[in-house]
Structure 1
Amino acid sequence: MFRLILDSSTKLMWIGLVKNNELIDHYTRVAKRDHAKYMVDAIDNLLAKNNVKVKDLSEIVVGSGPGSYTGLRVAGMTSKMLAYTLNIPLYKVSSIFFLTSGYKGKVLGMIDARRNQYFTGIYEGINTIKEDELMLYDDILSLEEYNNYKVIKIGENNYKIDVSKIIKKMQLVKDIHDYVPNYLRKTEAEMNL
């Protein structure tokens, strides 16, 4: 059983190939708003490098946000397309959890949302302590957890992934057509209406 696990919620695009709950290979790329240009080829290359055919995939797992609107749409649409075309299950997991799953202990994960705001989530192991939310930086500093948890400002060089935790935490998307990333805020265009 092969799973494809992917996230492009930040400048980092991460694609993992998992067999029997073990990561057998992965691909990473740091991009500037161009994940769409590389994602499908990166998946094809990762599968070919490991002698796996697309039809051998049994599940797709996507980091569902929060994060970059464009990045979330790229991973989301790619995942939906693969799951629908192959008629296999699609699973989702928080991108904050995804990108901090490899850290031990209590973790406060943060993704820069610009305008002095961060998408935050607090986890311990696979347990959600505080749901993902959009917060002002000053409000994060006043959190009790800020001083008691490992604070991870997620970036292209600051992440740790544990696929076994992701697999334990993933949630089935019941209807692939209804999948929508967890944006946590409106787009600039929506806010300017």
Structure 2
Amino acid sequence: MNQILFDSSTGVLVMALAKDGRMIDYSIRIGKKDHAKYVVDRMDQMLKRKHLTIDQIDEIVVGYGPGSYTGLRIAVMVAKMLAYTKHIKLRAVSSLYFLSSGIEADRIAPMIDARNGNVFAAIFEGNKIVLPEGLYTVDYVREVAKVNLAKPYFIDERHYEIDTKKILDMSFVVTDVHHFVPNYLRITEAERNLE
């Protein structure tokens, strides 16, 4: 079974090609809010390197948030488009889990900057959720991580580690592709300004 896994929730576009859960190729691109221009091309290049076509992909696994509003929209839109038009099974997983799945720790507290002293964060122990995904202050996450003996881990364009097998194990099947939406965890700044 061939799988494409990708996430664009941060400043880095992380993409992997896996065979039965084992990574066989990958692509990394640090961007400047321009992932939309590169995601499909990077996917195509990766497939060509392994002499595959999109028609030979059995599953797409997308990190669906939390993270950058625009980044999430790009990843989810591309995943939905490919799943629907090519009849590929779509799976989704937390971007926090996706981008920290390769970290060796019993418990991990991945965080993505959400500005103004806030982070999108969770605490994972293997496939178990210790602290649910949420928008928290950095201090709160550090304290909860300390109490739960979890390793704090700030995710950014230079700090991420992925394990395709773990990502697949933690992912879930999207049964209704048309109504699948990103996990934003908060409204946009424009929506906040309307209130």
Tell me if TM exceeds 0.5: yes
Partner of 2:191: 190
Go from structure 1 to structure 2 and tell me whether the alpha carbon gap of 1:144 and 1:133 turns closer, same or farther (over 3 Å shift).
Answer: same
Deviation, structure 1 residue 147: 7.1
Residues 1-193 of structure 1: matches in 2 within 5 Å? 1-104=1-104, 105-143=106-144, 145=146, 148-193=149-194
TM-score under structure 1 length normalisation: 0.96
User: Share of identical aligned residues, percent?
Assistant: 45
TM-score under structure 2 length normalisation: 0.96
1:26-67, Cα deviation, whole Å (9 max, x unpaired)? 000010100001111101111011101110011110001000
User: Are 2:142 and 2:152, in contact at CA under 8 Å, matched by a contact in 1?
Assistant: no
Unaligned runs of 5+ in 2: none
Deviation, structure 1 residue 140: 2.2
> What letter is aligned with 2:10?
T
Task: State the Cα RMSD in Å.
Answer: 1.2
Partners in 2 of 1:145 and 1:160 — Cα distance?
21
Go from structure 1 to structure 2 and tell me whether the alpha carbon gap of 1:146 and 1:160 turns closer, same or farther (over 3 Å shift).
Answer: farther
User: Secondary structure of the equivalent of 1:9?
Assistant: coil
User: Secondary structure of the equivalent of 1:142?
Assistant: helix
> What letter is aligned with 1:9?
S
Partners in 2 of 1:182 and 1:139 — Cα distance?
21
Partners in 2 of 1:69 and 1:88 — Cα distance?
25
User: Secondary structure of the equivalent of 1:192?
Assistant: helix
Deviation, structure 1 residue 89: 1.2
User: Are 1:9 and 1:63, in contact at CA under 8 Å, matched by a contact in 2?
Assistant: yes
Partners in 2 of 1:150 and 1:131 — Cα distance?
16
User: Are 2:60 and 2:88, in contact at CA under 8 Å, matched by a contact in 1?
Assistant: yes
Partners in 2 of 1:114 and 1:20 — Cα distance?
38
> What letter is aligned with 1:90?
L
